[in-house]
């Protein structure tokens, strides 16, 4: 049995969840773990001097629990309960390969996660497009006025810069303004190549 752990990180509203779900529908034995499921309750998230809840930082998440969930899946993917039905076109030689897609906005800045990835993708958006998309979404708790410019975007740039400065980190940057079909096609064929390497 072989496992493939795929990171799908990047900017808020970049299309990570949509892409992860589309991939899950066409890849064999594929499951998703979402970083959003590991947010601490609002009462445990720090507030800065401007009154902004600091959600876009690692401290707002139970990262150790997330690592544990991924490791547990890797140990026994078949019994994780999150394995989907195999697509009909799956070749026999992929029957014993399990794929986990981990999607979230802060995947590659936490050292214990970095030893787990087989492939890393990072979705980017220009500022204006990201702000426009973010304004159409409803969050719990809701974004307060100035939150995007005061916290969300600066934190995205900070973590993205950290990533780009880390020369040892192999990351495939994806343009989130491209169509969902284009992104899906690119990542899907890349993962299939990775699966073929595993089989060799």
- Whether 36 is catalytic: yes
d(CA 173, CA 100): 19
Per the listing, tokens 């307060």 go with 144
Sheet hosting strand 97-103, strand order edge to edge: 30-34, 97-103, 2-10, 119-124, 172-175
Instruction: Calculate the average pLDDT of the chain.
Output: 90
Q: What is the per-residue pLDDT across 49-94, written as a single tens digit (0 to 9) for each? A: 999 999 999 999 999 999 999 999 999 887 765 544 444 444 555 6
The pLDDT tens digits for 135-178 are 998 888 888 899 999 999 999 999 999 999 988 889 999 999 99
Note the pLDDT of residue 94: 63
pTM of the model: 0.90
Closest by CA position to 9, among listed 182, 174, 185, 181: 174
Q: H or E element: which one contains 34?
A: strand 30-34
Domain 15-83+91-198 has CATH 3.40.50.300: yes
Domain residue ranges of the chain, discontinuous segments joined by +: 15-83+91-198
- Indicate which residue of 36, 64, 149, 172 is catalytic: 36
State the pLDDT at residue 89: 46
pLDDT of residue 7: 97
């Amino acid at each position: 049995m072989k496992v493939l752990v795929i990171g799908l990180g990047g900017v808020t509203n970049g299309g990570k969840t949509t892409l992860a779900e589309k991939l899950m529908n066409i890849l064999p034995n594929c499951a998703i773990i979402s970083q959003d499921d590991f947010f601490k309750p609002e009462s445990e998230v720090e507030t800065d001097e401007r009154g902004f809840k600091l959600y876009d930082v690692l401290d707002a998440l139970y990262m150790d629990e997330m690592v544990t969930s991924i490791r547990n899946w890797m140990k026994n993917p078949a019994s994780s309960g999150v394995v989907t039905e195999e697509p009909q076109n799956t070749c026999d030689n992929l029957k014993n390969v399990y794929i986990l897609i981990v999607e979230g906005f802060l995947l590659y800045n936490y050292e214990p996660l970095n030893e787990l990835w087989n492939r890393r993708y990072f979705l980017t958006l220009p500022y204006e497009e990201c702000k426009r998309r973010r304004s159409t979404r409803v969050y719990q708790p809701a974004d307060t006025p100035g939150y995007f410019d005061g916290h969300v975007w600066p934190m995205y740039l900070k973590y993205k810069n950290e990533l780009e400065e880390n020369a040892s980190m192999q990351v495939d940057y994806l343009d989130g303004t491209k169509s969902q079909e284009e992104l899906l096609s690119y990542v899907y064929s890349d993962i299939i190549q990775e699966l073929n390497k595993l089989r060799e």
